[in-house]
Amino acid sequence: MSATFDEVFALPDGRVLPIGPSAFVLPGFARLSMDDVLPTLSEIARRSPFRHMVTPGGDTMSVAMTNCGRLGWVTDRRGYRYTEDDPDTGAPWPAMPAALSQLARAAAAAAGFTAFEPDACLVNRYLPGNRLSLHQDRNERDFDSPIVSVSLGIPAVFLFGGHKRSDKPLRVPLMHGDVAVWGREDRLRFHGVMPLKENSHPLLGGQRINLTFRKAA
Ligand code: MD6
Ligand code: FE
């Protein structure tokens, strides 16, 4: 019998791995929060269902998205932006659950960014084969705050590039519970996600969920 994820990957041990001057991976940081976090994700998706958004160029994204928090990130033919209401339901995005904002704040602090107060949490759902092409996160008004990115479910290879699209990216494996935090001089680096491989996770099945917390306004 093969080992399960939980046998192979140990509990978080406080490591903070630098992937840039102001960019860090906290291995397993979110693993002990799952009892509080996972039920909030079902409730968010019930109120604002995952959907495949369209880029300004007219491509439908393979990654399915929803949001929670006062502001949610959206894209359509008119561009990328943050909205207070879910365009699909016409209602405000679901509020950010305390379990999520607390996790984001604790991870930011562990990486040396104190007083992070996210107002937006983008929830990305990847299935095998889905990918996210290299991009910069530049739709936020506040580039002084870091971004906190929580990976859940099946593993992915994160591409962490430079300040030019053509800079060769670092390949960073992200497992269930890993949290990436970056800001300051790394805040605008290009990044993306390689196509996911088929896999299965005991809590989340054959999918990867990524939570990206930002201070958008
Ligand atoms: C993802 N993440 O990991 C996609 N952006 O699924 C992002 O695009 C991202 O992880 C900015 C900062 C952290 C991220
Ligand atoms: Fe991004």
CATH of the domain at 65: 2.60.120.590
Whether 186 is in the pocket of ligand 1, judged by its Cβ within 6 Å, is no
Query: Ligand 1 mean position to 145 CA, how many Å?
Result: 15
The whole domain housing 76 covers 5-214
Residue 7 has pLDDT above 60, yes or no: no
Q: What mean pLDDT do residues 31-50 have?
A: 97
The closest ligand to the CA of 210 turns out to be 1
Whether 193 is in the pocket of ligand 1, judged by its Cβ within 6 Å, is yes
Domain tally for the chain? 1
Q: Give the pLDDT band (50/70/90) at residue 1.
A: very low
Whether 107 is in the pocket of ligand 1, judged by its Cβ within 6 Å, is no
What is the tens place of the pLDDT at every residue in 77-114? Answer: 999 999 999 999 999 999 999 999 999 999 999 999 99
Q: How far is CA 75 from CA 15, 81, 92, in A?
A: 35, 6, 16
Q: What are phi and psi of 155, to 5 degrees?
A: -70, 160
Minimal CA–CA distance to 69: which of 105, 90, 100, 39?
100
Residue 6 has pLDDT above 60, yes or no: no
The pTM (predicted TM-score) of the whole model is: 0.95
